[in-house]
Structure 1
Amino acid sequence: MTLNATIARVTDRIRARSEGLRGDYLTRIRAAGQAGPARGHLACGNQAHAYAAMGQDKGALVDARLPNIGIITAYNDMLSAHQPYEDYPKLIRAAARAAGATAQVAGGVPAMCDGVTQGQPGMELSLFSRDVIALATGVSMSHNTFDAALYLGVCDKIVPGLIIGAAAFGHVPSVFVPAGPMTSGIPNDEKAKVRQQFATGEVGRDRLMQAEMASYHGPGTCTFYGTANTNQMLMEFMGLHLPGASFVNPNTPLRDALTQAAVARAAAITQLGNDYRPVGEILDERAFVNGLVGLMATGGSTNLVLHLPAMARAAGVLLDLEDFSDISDVVPLMAKVYPNGLADVNHFHAAGGLGYMIGELLDAGLLHPDAKTVAGDGLSLYRQEPKLIDGRLEWQPGSGETLNDRILRPAGDAFAPTGGLKQLSGNLGRGVIKVSAVAPERHIIEAPARIFHDQPSVKEAFKRGEFTSDVVVVVRFQGPRANGMPELHSLTPTLAVLQERGLRVALVTDGRMSGASGKVPAAIHVAPEAAMGGPLARLRDGDLVRLDAVAGTLEVLADDFANREAVTADLTANGFGTGRELFETFRRNVGNATEGASSLF
């Protein structure tokens, strides 16, 4: 199948835009690769420190002819998605020995749960934790004793941070190892209904707690299609997981077999063998375009609009919002997974999952088939699905058809002709909107603005009954420079109630929303942010704001707008408590949301 013209054009545009940066990056990592396996150049004293506690593996490590695999783990048992990683190092070390290799935990990286910090001060550390994870990865890998690396991470900022860190060691082959989603709990729409009932006072906290615990009930990733599961999709589309690995439940024989296979594959693709696959070579413009296509086809999390530019830049690739928007225009929405539908990721996986979707998109010419992957050359390997046959892991052709067309449809008969992510621009700045879960009649909202500087103020106004007519709720001073750009997901039940009362409602913010948010139109990541004197800082209560997701515009209809003074806000309270004082350097140096909101580049 010929590559779609728009996909080819966007890829060429990214390649041309990135030529200098990518060329310098490749020169650096190739020079590092030519130096050979790093630990062979260490002094004896250096090596003795590295191997002192390795017991039966000491001899192999000293010999230096067998690959040594570094494990970067984001294990903690605060995150259900990461709790299964507790036992992975032992499993990995045994699998490494079986594959003629050794493995060591190189280091751990922090992993915070946005579900725990949602609507709390701790959420203001969330986005910056991505950069901390990248830095911690760099520290872990700096011992320079590894021929390959395994990255254990799932959730929101963890995978992007690990990618950024892995790209800094781009000469090292790297395989990302998932933990899988928890089994299905109560339906997501039932949970959402209880949240809205609690917001209006119809049910008490006991009923809310019952619903939440029935939804988040065991080990594994939360089952809605939020940022964590979008990350897992990306790792498969970008060729960094083994085929079919993303959505296999934890603590199952197949899950363990896939982890063992990841170890064997990492050992096979080092420079000591004949199939050297450095991760920096895999992370090229084709991989990132394939990731963007997967994001649109699945209706994935808007948080990746922040993360992908930062991930790509770490590998010398420059992405822009126009790349997201142009790809969205030609990639059909093939999946309906909550919040875009009633199904969860387990239902999606059972219906055919990523293997079916990748096959369809390849056949439609919407993916680069020649992209490099950890599994081998070409993305067609990812059409396959893993199975345990008599206790042995095998990859077999997928079914080639959807098993539930209410959840997963062919590219030629998709739920929508486009991916549902639109770039917005106008006199209020640049931002994005995800419309895949927004009813078509709400793609254009024009209403008076109501201005707020934090989430609690919106909720208090709601409780006082102040929202009685159509409104564009503007929550400004929520960008990365102001307070670390927390998710505003706790506003979703409130705004959804207003919408269900018949009001035309939209949110406009320089903050971000959760990957699980959807049915209320939201212009997010608006840049430049208010704290940098951006246009949102000149808005006033009552200004007529027009959000047009069809035309891709975000404007205030006020003749004197350009001549107004920007307001300022007292942001001193954002700098203290819950560890926020430690992140002043990050807030001071962070870039625009449109460029990935990173403090590292």
Structure 2
Amino acid sequence: MSTLHPVLAAVTDRIRERSADLRSAYLRQVDTLRQRPPGVQRMGCANLAHAFAAMPGDDRLRVVAERAPNLGIVTAYNDMLSAHRPYECFPDLIRQAAHAAGATAQVAGGVPAMCDGVTQGQPGMELSLFSRDTIAMGTAIALSHDVFDGVLLLGICDKIVPGLLIGALHFGHLPCVFVPAGPMTSGLSNEAKAKVREQAAQGLVGRAELLAAEQAAYHGEGTCTFYGTANSNQMLLEAMGLHVPGAAFVHPHTPLREALTREAVATLLAQRARGGCIGHQVDERCIVNAMVALLATGGSTNHLIHWVAVARSAGILINWTDFADLSAVVPLLARVYPNGAADVNQFQAAGGTAFVIRELLAAGLMHGEVATVTDRGLEAFATVPALDAAGRVQHRPVAAQSGDEQVLRPVAAPFSPVGGLKLLTGNLGRSVIKVSAVPPDRHVIEAPARVFDGQEALQAAFQAGELTGDFVAVVRFQGPHANGMPELHKLTPPLAVLQGRGQRVALVTDGRMSGASGKVPAAIHVSPEALAGGPLARVRDGDRIRLDAEGGTLEALVPAEEWAARTPAPRPAALAAESGHGWGRELFAGFRQRVGTAEEGACTWLPAAAAQP
């Protein structure tokens, strides 16, 4: 095992020290629950009868009389999300595999799964971030029946994996395995799709051409093939040891995918037999491994919110400074759209998750001696699954060389010596920027501010031809308290068009851009948010703004006395009147009132006192 990089060791140590009291309290609760007898032994007869009434008679005999392990399935299946459509048949496969191993399995519950691609720019997007905590609550409700000896978690996409993981960690006494379903096959390239979107923004192509391009890109079952939040989820779960090794990017409806789903059952039962549980498995080292994997692959900026909440669920406190310090020493090993031309299928063919993990372990940039769902530590995740002659899953070491160095490179020759994310600080607050896709000559932008109180106002200004010259678009009142912190993807095409015309432009917002943050420099998640009196509310049209991704600063170049004397602008009355009304948004009013800051994980289930800078 390689010697740990000193920065990795130092960051891990300070997270451990910062989290000591909270983590100890969490583990005491986990261990108390682990010491109880199994559910069938401690529950009343009426409770048991209700729990297993719908089971076939043989299964009832197994679980009640023979005390066979009973596995819970929490599924995010629906047949609208392309990534989740394959899950329809997974419960039957899991039940069959459980029976063959002498166990039983039940669908404990389903959780909602919304598609951000459908809701982009629509009112429903204001429910997107809060759907994560709704999913966590749904997972808790499913597991509250308390008759399960282990859990299989079926989910892939943006808020769904973090929600399932948060919920599972609140039942940390149970062993858990995540079961992915894989990406769709490659369609229209992401670059070609982006080009058509930019053409549509300029009026050069119509709706028919745009729709044809979008349908050619999103054309079948499986995750979208760009490296956004959904596929970043899968990379992070591999780095945390929560999948069957190498399961992330195998296509749906293939013999290997079916075998991996069955293998997840065997893996969970073996983990249970060893006394493993997710609460002990997800420790400080495991969380740091996930952070490193995100940085090394230029993954989704959403995880600077989600993984703070995930860590907090395990009694661990992390913040953006931790990410920034790791990013300074973690090299960028992958170029997958939007920080490159390749899609995740090309990434997988080049070596995929196994190559990344192998390289980082060898460089001392990951903790190898951690608990995983296997009994072989993280090195098991530097292997590639395949079927043997009997149709069983076997693992072999990943190839020594990248299959395509335009997509995936070793630590010795990375695309960049530093990771793909940067922390920005200054008189505009704390924010993050994904620099892996931004051209180097755009890492520093200084220009006058154009202030917008929503993405619709910026789009209208673009359509009216008003966005001339260099400028920094400040889009505010988009934070968790204001409207649930929607993703602002509709801004990407117009800003990319302006940048393509030679203008120097950037985006500064208290909203999100997610995994598709692209070639336009974007300082996002600005905290504190404008509605909370944050500094974006002090910005005025014409203020000179400097975004410096090299120096790590975000500043309004306004004299200090003038800046301090300014009264924060209120949210426009029209926006305030609309916010929270219609499309179910009324139901989430309590979430908007209670939610913590982005850097605290935007959690709605605890006081805003998690990670502090």
TM-score category of the 2 structures, normalised to the smaller one: over 0.9
8 Å contact 2:183–2:345 — kept in the other structure?
yes
The letter for the 1-side match of 2:250 is V
Match of residue 498 from structure 1: 498
Alignment of 1:36-47 (within 5 A): 36-47=37-48
Residue 158 of structure 2 aligns to a residue whose secondary structure is coil
Q: Is the 8 A contact 1:512 1:525 kept in 2?
A: yes
Contact kept, 8 Å, 2:70 with 2:147, in 1: the verdict is yes
Structure 1 residue 260: Cα displacement: 0.1
8 A Cα contact 1:443 1:549, kept in partner: yes
Contact 2:135 2:164 in 1 (8 A): yes
State the partner residue of 1:251: 253
**Match of 1:48?**
49
**1:358-369 alignment to 2 at 5 Å?**
358-369=357-368
SS in 1 for 2:514: coil
Deviation at 1:550, TM superposition (A): 0.8
Q: 2:592 aligns with which of 579, 587, 591?
A: 587
Shift of 1:357: 1.2
Matched residue, 1:35 = 36
Name the residue aligned to 1:348: 347
Q: Following the alignment from structure 2 to structure 1, what is the Cα–Cα distance between the partners of residues 295 and 165?
A: 20
Is 1:181 aligned to 2:183, yes or no?
A: yes
- Is the CA contact (8 Å cut-off) linking 1:547 and 1:553 kept in structure 2? yes
1:308 equivalent to 2:294? Answer: no
Moved more, 563-572 or 68-77: 563-572
Query: Which residue in the other structure is 1:378 paired with?
Result: 377
The answer to whether the 8 Å contact 2:271/2:374 transfers is no
Which residue of 205, 208, 228 corresponds with 2:207?
205
- Verify the 8 A CA contact 1:39 1:144 in the aligned structure 2: no
**Counterpart-to-counterpart distance in 2, 1:268 and 1:384:** 19
Distance across 2 between alignment mates of 1:21 and 1:405: 43
Separation of aligned partners in 1, 2:104 and 2:61: 10
C-alpha contact (below 8 Å) 2:40/2:63 kept by paired residues: no
| 1:284-343 CA-partner distances (Å, limit 9, x unpaired) | 000110001100111000000110000000000000100100111101100010011111
Residue 264 of structure 1: how far off its partner (Å)? 1.1
Task: Check if 1:16 corresponds to 2:21.
Answer: no
Aligned match of 1:99? 101
- What is the alpha-carbon distance in structure 2 between the residues aligned to residue 586 and residue 181 of structure 1? 32
- The CA deviation string for residues 114-133 of structure 1, in whole angstroms up to 9 with x for no partner, is 00000100000000000000
SS in 2 for 1:595: coil
Does the residue aligned with 2:334 lie in a helix, a strand or coil? Answer: coil
Q: Aligned residue for 1:434?
A: 434
Check conservation: 1:160, 1:311, Cα contact below 8 A: yes
For 2:420 and 2:408, the matched residues in 1 are separated by 16
CA distance in 1, matches of 2:388, 2:424: 50
- 1:477 pairs with 2:474: no
Instruction: Calculate the aligned-residue CA RMSD, in Å.
Output: 0.8
Aligned pairs for 1:33-432 (under 5 A) are 33-55=34-56, 56-63=58-65, 65-270=67-272, 273=273, 275-390=274-389, 391-432=391-432
Amino acid at match of 2:327: S
Q: Which runs of 5+ in 2 are unaligned?
A: 607-613
Question: Which amino acid in the other structure matches residue 603 of structure 2?
Answer: S
SS in structure 2 at match of 1:426: coil
CA distance in 1, matches of 2:289, 2:281: 12
Count of aligned positions: 598
Secondary structure in 2 matching 1:508: strand
Measure, in 1, the Cα distance between the counterparts of 2:303 and 2:41. Answer: 38
C-alpha distance in 2 between matches for 1:17 and 1:89: 40
Q: CA deviation at 1:376?
A: 1.7
- The one-letter amino acid paired with 1:222 is C
Instruction: For residues 197-219 of structure 1, give each alpha carbon's deviation from its aligned partner in whole angstroms, at most 9, with x where no partner exists.
Output: 00000000000000000000000
TM-score (norm 2): 0.97
SS where residue 599 of structure 1 aligns?
coil
- Are 2:198 and 2:497, in contact at CA under 8 Å, matched by a contact in 1? yes
Partner of 1:507: 507
Match for 1:49: what amino acid? Answer: H
Distance apart, 1:64 and its partner CA? 5.0
Any idea what SS the aligned residue of 1:201 has?
coil
Q: Structure 1 counterpart of 2:375, which letter?
A: G
Whether the 8 Å CA contact 1:40–1:64 is kept in 2: the answer is no
Instruction: Kindly report structure 1 stretches of 4+ aligned residues shifted beyond 3 Å.
Output: none
> Displacement, 1:99?
1.3
In the aligned structure 2, how far is the partner of 1:447 from the partner of 1:348? Answer: 37
1:330 alignment partner, SS class:
coil
Q: What is the distance in 1 between the residues matched to 2:505 and 2:61?
A: 66
CA deviation map 1:338-386 (0-9, x unaligned): 0111110000001111111111111101000111100124211111111
Q: What CA distance in whole angstroms lies between the structure 2 residues aligned with 1:82 and 1:525? A: 28
CA distance, structure 1, for counterparts of residue 39 and residue 552 of structure 2 = 50
The amino acid of 2:26's aligned partner reads: Y
SS of equivalent residue, structure 1 residue 175: strand
Instruction: Work out the CA distance in 1 between the residues paired with 2:40 and 2:323.
Output: 41
Using the TM superposition, name which of 285-294 and 39-48 deviates more: 39-48
Deviations 1:386-417 (A, max 9, x none): 11111221111221221111110001100010
Overall identity of the aligned pairs, in %: 61
Measured in 2, the distance between the counterparts of 1:82 and 1:40 equals 35
For 1:100 and 1:399, the matched residues in 2 are separated by 36
Between the aligned partners of 2:341 and 2:374, the Cα distance in structure 1 is 33
Q: Distance in 2 between matches of 1:513 and 1:349?
A: 25
CA distance in 2, matches of 1:335, 1:52: 50
- Is the 2:299–2:420 contact (alpha carbons within 8 Å) kept by the matching residues of 1? no
Deviation at 1:517, TM superposition (A): 2.0
Say which is worse superposed, 314-323 or 376-385, in terms of deviation: 376-385
Q: Per-residue CA shift, 1:473-494, capped at 9, x if unaligned?
A: 0000000000000000111001
Task: Give 3-state SS (helix, strand or coil) of 1:474's partner.
Answer: strand
How far, CA to CA, are the matches of 1:514 and 1:359 in structure 2? 27
Q: Deviations over 1:63-90 (max 9, x none)?
A: 2521110000000011000000011111
Q: Distance in 2 between matches of 1:572 and 1:147?
A: 48
In the alignment, is the contact (CA less than 8 A) between 1:39 and 1:64 conserved in 2? no
Local SS of the residue matching 1:447: strand
